[in-house]
Structure 1
Amino acid sequence: MYDFFDDPAKLAPAHVILEPGEAGSFILRSGEQLQPYARCIGEWLEQWAREAPLRPYLAERRNGVWFTLNYSEVRQRVGALAQGLLELDTVPGRPVLVLSENDIDQALITLAAMHVGIAVATVSVAYSRNTQSGCSKLKSIVAQLQPALIFINDGDTYRRAIELIQPDCPVVVARNAQAVPGALPLPLIYRVESAQVMETYLRLDGDVPARYMLTSGSTGTPKVVINTHRMLCANQQSIAQCWRFLEGSEMVVVDWLPWSHTFAANHNFNMVLRNGGTLYIDDGLPVTGRIERTVENIKSVQPTVFFNVPRGYEALLPYLERDEELAQALFGRLDMLFYAAAALPQNTWDRLMACAEKVRDKPLFFTSEWGATETSPVLTNVHYRLDKPGNIGLPVPGVEIKFVPSGDKLEMRVRGPSVFQQYFNDSKGSLEAFDEQGFYQIGDAGRLLDPERPEKGIVFDGRVTEDFKLTTGTWVSVGTLRPRLVSALAPYASDSVICGHDRDVIGALIYPTPALRALAGAPGKRMTAEQLALEPAVRRALSAGLQTLAQQFPASSQHAVRMVILDSPPSLDDGEITDKGYINQRAALGLRADAVKRLYAETLDPAVILLDEAYGERK
C-alpha cells in the first residue's frame, strides 16, 4: 500500500549530520546541500506569469463572491504599479509602509514595490486601529522607518490613524480616498509599464531589502528586521527540498494570518508564489463572530494546504467536530495540515486527528516548523511522520543549529543564508544578537528526541528567557508546562500564563473559553471572572484538570497547584499576545500583576482555584 511518508518524491528522508563541540555543545545540520534558488521574489512572479498565465493566483471576497486574479493579470498590475512607484521618486532605503489588513490591493503594491527594489513594511492593524491611545506605537514606527509612502486599503477606516501620525510622505488609499485629505487614490498610481521596470528589476541582487519586519515583541522591545531577497528566496528553497510534494502541486490555500508577521508574509504568502499556487485571502478570524466566515471560506475553497496557529485551531475545532461537511472540505483533499508559532496542546492534536480520520482513509500529514522573524522564518522542518506535537523537526538545508548548554537546558543558536545580518538602524543590537562564531542567539531551547538517533528530530524546550526558578531552586520550563496545562484543562482554557518566580509553588492565570462559561450554566450571560470562579461546576472541572496534570507530572516544577481565571482575553495592543497567537509571558505578567498578587495572597482569595479542590479539601 502506498505511503506518503515513505515516498522520497514527496518528503525528504530524515538525514542529519551531528558535529560534536566543546563543553557539551554540538552542531546539527541537514545532510542535504541547499540547492540554487531565485535571485529575488519577482523571479517567481515572472516565471508563473509566463508558464501558467491563466492559473488563479489571488482571490478575495467582494460582495460575497470570490474575486480572482490569475498570474497574468497580477503581473500586469504589478508592472503598472511598479511604474507608478518609480514615477513617485520613492527614496532608496525608505520603505512602503502598509497599515491595513490583508487584501489583494496590499498584495499587489507589495509585489510591485519588491519588483523594483523597494522594501515593504507591514505593521499590525492593532497599531493603526487603536486610535484611542493616540497611535503612540505607530508614531514611533513611522519615526523610525521614515517611509517613502504609506498605503491603506480604506480611507474611512484608517483616516484617524493618518491624522494622528501626520506623515510627511504620500498616502495612497485603495478605497474612499476622499476621507483622507491630500491622499492619492490607488488607481492614479497605475501607469503604463515602461522598460524602466524590467531594467530596475534585472539590476536587483539578493542583498536588496525586500521586507522590514517588526519582531513580535516576545523577546522585549520590537525591533525592525531587514529581510533581504536572498534570505527569503533561500528559505523557500530550503522548505521545498524538505516538502518535495510542493513542487508542481498547484497548492490551494485559504489563509487569514496577518502579513504583518513573518509566518504569513514570508512563509505562507511566499510559498504560494514560489510554487505557483492559489491564495484565497480569508476575511475571517479565530474569534467569535468572525470564525463563521472562515468556516464558510473553507467549505468554498477546499484547500490542499492549511496553515494555522493553535489558537486558530481551538476556535475551529467545535465546528469541525459537529459539521461533517466542513471536515470533508478541510481534510478531504488536504496534502498538509500545519501549525506554528506556539506549542500545540496534545488535546488539540488528538481532536484534529479524530476529525480527519472520520472523512479520509489515508493518514494526515500534520506537521510543523520552527523559526523566527530574524530567520525569514524557517530553521527546522518536520518532513516525517509525527504521532504527537512538540517535535519541531530537523535543520533545513543550509541552516546550522548550535546547541549550547545553558543551565539545565540546551540553548539553540543558528546560522545560514536565511538568517538576518542586521536590525534596521541598530548596529549595537545587531552586534549583540550574534555569538563569536556568527550564530544568531535566538533565545529558544531544544533537545534531541533521541540523542542516539538525532534524525528523529528536535523537541522544543521553551524559551531560555521565560524559564524561572522556584524558591526550592528547581527550574520551571514554561514552554513545556503551558501546553500541558492547557491540554489538562481542555476544553475550558484557551491559554495560560505560568507564575511562580521566587515562589515555592507554581500558579497559573488562565484565559477562559466559551465552554467554561457554558459549564457555569450561563453561556450567553456576562459573568465576571470572579463570579465564574465561584461556580461549583467550574471549580470542580478546573481543579480536576490540575489534579490530572499533577498525576501525570508529579514533580513540583511540572504542575500548577493554584489558578486564577482572567477577566479579559490576551491583549494584542499591549503586547500580551502576538499576531501569531503566542503568549508573551513577560508582558502578560506585567499587565496581570494584580491577578498574580491575588494568586499568592497570604489570605487566600475565594476566587483562587486549588489543586486539591477535586477532593473537597480547600485549605
Structure 2
Amino acid sequence: MTTQTIPELLSASPVDLDRPAIVELTRDAVQTVSRGEVLDLAGRLSAGLVAAGLERGDRIAIIAPNGVRWVVSALGVIRAGGVLVPLDTQMPDEDLAHALVDAAPRWLFTTSALAERLPQREALADVRRYRFDAPDDESDAWSQLLAADPGPSLAQAGDLATIFYTSGTTGPPKGVPLTHGNLTSNIEALCAEGMADGKDRVLVPLPFHHVYPFTVGILVPLSLGATIVVPFSLVGPQIVRALHDGEASIMLGVPRLFEAIWTALAGRVAERGRVPAALFRGLLALSIAARARLGWRLGRRLFASLHQRLGSSLRLMVSGGAALDPTLGRRLQGLGWEVATGYGLSETSPILTLNRPDRIRLESAGLPLANVELRIAEAEGPGEVLARGPNVFGGYWQLPEKTAKVLDEQGWFRTGDVGRLDADGYLHLQGRASAMIVLSGGENVDPERVEKVLGAADEIREAGVLAHGDRLAAVIVPEDRVIRETDGTAALRERVGQVMRDAARALPSHHRPGVLRVALDPLPRTRLGKLRRHKLEALFARLASEDLDQATMAAPIAIQDMSPEDQQLLSDPAAEGAWRYLAERFSDRRLTPDTSLALDLDIDSLGWVDLTLALRDRAGIELEDAAIARVETVRDLLREASASASVDSAGEDLITALADPERILNPEQQAWLAPRGAIRTLAARLLLGLSRLTTRSLIRLEVRGRIPAAGPYLVAPRHLSSLDPVMLAQVVTARQLDSIYWAGWTGILFANPVSRWFSRVAQVLPIDPGAAPRASLALGAACLERGFSLVWFPEGRRSEDGSLQAFRPGVGLLLRAHPVPVVPVWIDGTREAMPPGRWFPRPGRVRIVIGDPIPVDELGGDEREIVRLIEKRVAALGAE
C-alpha cells in the first residue's frame, strides 16, 4: 500500500464518471448525483475556498444533516488543503461550544435552522458562516463559494485531513486529528477485504459527523465506485424507504439500529397472533440451525416476503460503533442477510479489526486488518488492547498530556478496551478498562455486564451502574407504564427496587447494586448509544438531592435529554414539527416519547380529529387512517409523522381530498351510501311508525321551526342523549327521511349484525373519528356531494353535564369541501327522558328549536370560523 491523499485515492479509481455516486432521498422523491458531478462540485468548492483566502491547515466546520452538499463540502475542504471539522447536529450546547472554540474554524457550513442554535461566543465572532439552504443570491449562501472551474488538489499525505470530536463518554469532547495518510491507509485496507465493489449501493443511516460513517460510509464507497444511499432522515420509516427505493445492497449501522429493526419485526409478528408468531420462531430457528450445522443459507427463501418488503437487493448488514450481540447477529443471518462487524476507535481512523461474513465469529471482534498490529498489554490473561499501524493518529488536538497517556514512543496506542487474542488471531473484547469498577475487596465489576442484566427486566427501560463510596449503585429508568401505574414517588422506588433485586439474582453477589436512584428520563448517551459515564455520575448526585415529585414529572422532556434514537427521530422535520406542537399543547404534562396519547394525554377518538388537523396546520403533515390505527405512544406518532407525506409536497391537503371523497372510500364504505332498495325502505317506514307510536305515548314534543323540504343541507343539532336522533326523526316527513343520512358512532350503531342492519335501514353512516377520521369525513362529504342531506352532531358526543360542548372541527372541514346551508337545532329534555345507561325512554317533555338555515355565503373563512358560527347560532337558539 502506498501513502497518498484522499483526492489522489479517489482520482486513481478507474470509475465511470457517469455512475451514480450519491442517491439522496427527499421527502417525496429520489435524486441521483453522478460521480462526475460530485467531483466537479468538490473541485469548484476547493477553488472557491482558496480564492476566498483558505490556507493549508485552516479548519472548516460542518454542522448540518447528511446530504450531497455535506459530502461535497467534505471533499472540497480536504482537496483545498483545509482541515474538515464535522460536528454533531445534536451535540449538547456546552459540548458544541467547547468543540468550536477548541477547533477555532475560520469557516462554518450549516443550515438556516441549525444556525439559530450556534453558540454566541466572542471567540467565534470572526467565523464566516455559510448556509447550505440559503438562496443562491444571498451573501452567506454556500453556493457563493463555488468557483467556475475546479482547482487542483493542494493536500499532501502528511497533512491533517479532519478533526473528529469524540462523543465525550468520560469528559468534554476531545479533538482527534487524522491525516490523509491515516484515513487512506484504512480505506485501502478495507477495500482490499473484497466485501464490496463498484456495483454495490451502500445505505448510510448514520450521521456523517462520526468517523465510522465518514470513512466506511463515504470514502470507501467512493473509492470503490459504489453508490452512497442517503435517507431523507435517520429514522425508521425513512430508513426502510431508503432501503427499498434506493435499492441498497449494503446497510451500515450500529447495534442499536439493528436491535430496533429486530424489535419492530418481532413486534409485528407478535401482533398477528400466536400461530403466526410460533411459525415465525420455528422457521427462524430452522434457518439458524441449518446455517450453523450444514452451511445452508435458507433465510432468503423462508422469509422472501420480508426481503421484498424491506428491499430485495439488501444482502449485507455491517455493524460497527459497538459490539453486536451475537444472538442478534445470528437472527439477522437466519433471516437471510449476511452480517459483518468491525471494531475500532476514532483514534484509529477507525477500523482495527474486521469480522468478514465468510469467516465471521460473532462472539469476537474479528481479525486485525492487514496493516494493523495488535497486542495485549498483560503477558498473561486478558489485558488492555494495544494497536499500531498507519491508521493510528498522532495525538489529541492541543492535549499533549492526554496524548502521552495513550501513545508510547513506539507508536502503540492504548485503546482503553480490555480483551484477549485467541489462537486464530481473533480479538475478544471484555469491556472498557476506564469503566471497570474496582471495589475495596479487590473485586472487579464490569458495569456493562450488570447494566445488560438489569436492562433485560421487563419493567426496566435502561440501567446505569457506577461506584458510590465502596458500594455498587444503579440509576434505573423504569418503563413508562410502570411510572403510570405506580402511585407516588415512594411506591415507584419500592417497585423499581424490587424489580432490580429480582433481576440482580442472576449476577454474582459483588455485582449486585446496593444503592438505587430512579430517573424518569433517558440516561445520557452518545449518538452511538454509549453511556456517558461522567454525566451518569452527575445525574446520580442530582437524583440524591431531588425528589420525583409532580413538578419534575409535569413538563415535556427536553430534546437534548432524550435517548439518541429519539433525538435522531426528531432530526426529521415532520417529526420535530409534531413534537413541538405536542410540547406546546401539553406544556403542563409529563410528555416523553413513551407517553400514551390515550392514557396520559386523554386524546380519545374525537380528539384525533383535532390532533390531525393541528398536525396538518402546524407540522404540514397528513396522517392516513391506517397510520392512526398504529399509534399508541408519542413515539409512534412521531414515526408516522416522519413517514407521512407533507401537505405541500403531496400537493393536496385534507380539504382538497374531501372535494373528491369517493377516492378516499373503499367499496365497503361506499356501500353505505347505496340506495336502500324496496325491502329496506319498507322496513324503514315500519321502524319510523313504531318509533313515533312509542315516543308520542311517552314524550310530549314541542317543536318550533321546521327542517327545509328540499336539500341538500346539513343539520347541526345539540347532543344530549341517544334519544336525540329519534326525536329529530319525528319532525320530518317520511319522504324527507329518504334523502337524509345520519352520522353515527361505530362503537354503538355498528357493534353487531343487528345494529348494523338497523343502521343500514335508517341510513346511518359509520363514523369513527379515532381510527378513521379521513374515511369518516369522506363519508359525510360523499353524502353531500351526492345531493343528500346530512345530520351531523358537531359536539361529537353526548354532553355529560347538559351544557353545550365545544364543537369539533369536522363539521367545518365538511362544509369547506362541500358548502351547503346549515340548519342549527337546539334540543333539550332528551337527557332527562333517556339519560346515559338507559335503553328505553321514560315519560317527559322534549323541546326542539329549529333555526333558520345559515346560507352558504355566510360560511366563508376557514373551518374554525365555520365551526364558531354554527356553535354561536345553536347556542342562540337555546337562549330564546
Q: Which TM-score bucket, shorter chain as reference?
A: 0.7 to 0.9
Secondary structure of the corresponding residue to residue 378 of structure 2? strand
Verify the 8 A CA contact 2:15 2:225 in the aligned structure 1.
Answer: no
Q: Which of 420, 429, 438 is the equivalent residue of 1:469?
A: 438
- Does residue 318 (structure 1) correspond to residue 263 (structure 2)? The answer is yes
Secondary structure of the corresponding residue to residue 392 of structure 1? coil
More displaced stretch, 52-61 vs 554-563? 554-563
Verify the 8 A CA contact 1:470 1:501 in the aligned structure 2.
Answer: no
Q: Structure 1 residues 124, 231: CA separation in 2 closer, same or farther (over 3 Å shift)?
A: same
- The CA deviation at 1:502 is 4.2
Listed as ranges, the matches of 1:406-425 within 5 Å are 409-425=382-398
TM-score (norm 2): 0.53
Q: Which of 582, 595, 602 is the equivalent residue of 2:530?
A: 582
- Does residue 446 (structure 1) correspond to residue 423 (structure 2)? The answer is no
- The CA deviation at 1:58 is 1.4
More displaced stretch, 557-566 vs 272-281? 557-566
Secondary structure of the corresponding residue to residue 90 of structure 2? helix
> What is aligned with 1:59?
23
Secondary structure of the corresponding residue to residue 344 of structure 1? coil
Q: Which of 144, 147, 164 is the equivalent residue of 1:188?
A: 144
> What is aligned with 1:206?
157
User: Structure 1 CA distance, aligned partners of 2:491 and 2:214?
Assistant: 39
> What is aligned with 1:245?
195
- Does residue 370 (structure 1) correspond to residue 343 (structure 2)? The answer is yes
Residues 329-368 of structure 1: CA deviation (Å, up to 9, x unaligned): 5574434222222233455445x43xx534x3xxx43232
Listed as ranges, the matches of 1:565-580 within 5 Å are 565-570=518-523, 576-580=524-528
Listed as ranges, the matches of 1:252-331 within 5 Å are 252-285=201-234, 290-321=235-266, 322=268, 327-330=307-310
User: Structure 1 CA distance, aligned partners of 2:46 and 2:510?
Assistant: 56
Q: Which of 553, 556, 569 is the equivalent residue of 2:509?
A: 556
User: Structure 2 CA distance, aligned partners of 1:346 and 1:374?
Assistant: 26
> What is aligned with 1:170?
128
Residues 575-614 of structure 1: CA deviation (Å, up to 9, x unaligned): x322222112232122233457899xxxxxxxxxxxxxxx
Residues 377-430 of structure 1: CA deviation (Å, up to 9, x unaligned): 011111266787441112211111121129974011111100011222333433
- The CA deviation at 1:53 is 1.6
User: Structure 2 CA distance, aligned partners of 1:527 and 1:124?
Assistant: 37
Give 1:338's aligned amino acid. Answer: V
Q: Which of 391, 405, 430 is the equivalent residue of 1:432?
A: 405
User: Structure 1 CA distance, aligned partners of 2:537 and 2:102?
Assistant: 28
Q: Structure 1 residues 539, 441: CA separation in 2 closer, same or farther (over 3 Å shift)?
A: closer
- The CA deviation at 1:465 is 1.1
- The CA deviation at 1:98 is 0.9
Q: Structure 1 residues 86, 496: CA separation in 2 closer, same or farther (over 3 Å shift)?
A: same
In the alignment, structure 1 segments of 5+ residues that lack a partner are 1-35, 571-575, 600-619
Listed as ranges, the matches of 1:346-361 within 5 Å are 348-349=328-329, 352-353=331-332, 357-358=334-335, 360=336
User: Structure 2 CA distance, aligned partners of 1:282 and 1:273?
Assistant: 17
Q: Structure 1 residues 46, 543: CA separation in 2 closer, same or farther (over 3 Å shift)?
A: same
Number of residue pairs matched? 511
- The CA deviation at 1:235 is 0.6
Q: Structure 1 residues 336, 224: CA separation in 2 closer, same or farther (over 3 Å shift)?
A: same
Give 1:398's aligned amino acid. Answer: N
- The CA deviation at 1:54 is 1.9
More displaced stretch, 369-378 vs 332-341? 332-341
> What is aligned with 1:18?
none
User: Structure 1 CA distance, aligned partners of 2:500 and 2:358?
Assistant: 33
Q: Structure 1 residues 329, 379: CA separation in 2 closer, same or farther (over 3 Å shift)?
A: farther
Residues 88-115 of structure 1: CA deviation (Å, up to 9, x unaligned): 1113222111122222111111111112
Q: Which of 509, 512, 536 is the equivalent residue of 2:475?
A: 509
User: Structure 2 CA distance, aligned partners of 1:591 and 1:370?
Assistant: 29
- Does residue 42 (structure 1) correspond to residue 12 (structure 2)? The answer is no
Verify the 8 A CA contact 1:467 1:477 in the aligned structure 2.
Answer: yes
Q: Structure 1 residues 86, 69: CA separation in 2 closer, same or farther (over 3 Å shift)?
A: same
User: Structure 2 CA distance, aligned partners of 1:156 and 1:190?
Assistant: 22
> What is aligned with 1:97?
61
> What is aligned with 2:169?
218
Q: Structure 1 residues 44, 484: CA separation in 2 closer, same or farther (over 3 Å shift)?
A: farther
> What is aligned with 1:342?
322
Give 2:5's aligned amino acid. Answer: C
Give 2:519's aligned amino acid. Answer: L
Give 2:141's aligned amino acid. Answer: P
Q: Structure 1 residues 532, 205: CA separation in 2 closer, same or farther (over 3 Å shift)?
A: farther
> What is aligned with 1:117?
81
Give 1:280's aligned amino acid. Answer: V
In the alignment, structure 2 segments of 5+ residues that lack a partner are 270-302, 548-880
Verify the 8 A CA contact 2:517 2:540 in the aligned structure 1.
Answer: no
Give 1:460's aligned amino acid. Answer: L
Secondary structure of the corresponding residue to residue 161 of structure 1? coil
Q: Structure 1 residues 540, 91: CA separation in 2 closer, same or farther (over 3 Å shift)?
A: same
Give 2:346's aligned amino acid. Answer: T
Give 2:441's aligned amino acid. Answer: T
Give 2:427's aligned amino acid. Answer: I
Q: Structure 1 residues 136, 560: CA separation in 2 closer, same or farther (over 3 Å shift)?
A: closer
Q: Structure 1 residues 327, 556: CA separation in 2 closer, same or farther (over 3 Å shift)?
A: farther
Verify the 8 A CA contact 1:497 1:589 in the aligned structure 2.
Answer: no
Residues 271-311 of structure 1: CA deviation (Å, up to 9, x unaligned): 221221111222333xxxx4332233233234222222222
User: Structure 2 CA distance, aligned partners of 1:94 and 1:382?
Assistant: 37
Pairwise CA RMSD of aligned residues?
Answer: 3.4
> What is aligned with 2:100?
142
Structure with bigger helix share is 2
User: Structure 2 CA distance, aligned partners of 1:177 and 1:503?
Assistant: 60
Percent of pairs with identical residues: 21
- The CA deviation at 1:62 is 2.7
> What is aligned with 1:16?
none
Secondary structure of the corresponding residue to residue 171 of structure 1? strand
Q: Structure 1 residues 138, 500: CA separation in 2 closer, same or farther (over 3 Å shift)?
A: closer
Give 1:212's aligned amino acid. Answer: I
- The CA deviation at 1:57 is 1.2
User: Structure 1 CA distance, aligned partners of 2:184 and 2:369?
Assistant: 13
Q: Structure 1 residues 274, 168: CA separation in 2 closer, same or farther (over 3 Å shift)?
A: same
Q: Structure 1 residues 387, 53: CA separation in 2 closer, same or farther (over 3 Å shift)?
A: closer
Give 1:392's aligned amino acid. Answer: A
Q: Structure 1 residues 261, 71: CA separation in 2 closer, same or farther (over 3 Å shift)?
A: same
- The CA deviation at 1:564 is 5.2
Give 2:195's aligned amino acid. Answer: F
Q: Structure 1 residues 101, 314: CA separation in 2 closer, same or farther (over 3 Å shift)?
A: same
User: Structure 1 CA distance, aligned partners of 2:194 and 2:497?
Assistant: 49
TM-score (norm 1): 0.74
> What is aligned with 2:464?
497
Listed as ranges, the matches of 1:479-558 within 5 Å are 479-486=448-455, 488-489=456-457, 495-500=462-467, 502-504=469-471, 506-512=472-478, 516-517=479-480, 520=482, 533=492, 545-547=503-505, 550=506, 554-558=507-511
Q: Structure 1 residues 555, 137: CA separation in 2 closer, same or farther (over 3 Å shift)?
A: closer
Verify the 8 A CA contact 2:437 2:445 in the aligned structure 1.
Answer: yes
- The CA deviation at 1:463 is 1.0
- The CA deviation at 1:233 is 0.7
Secondary structure of the corresponding residue to residue 424 of structure 1? coil
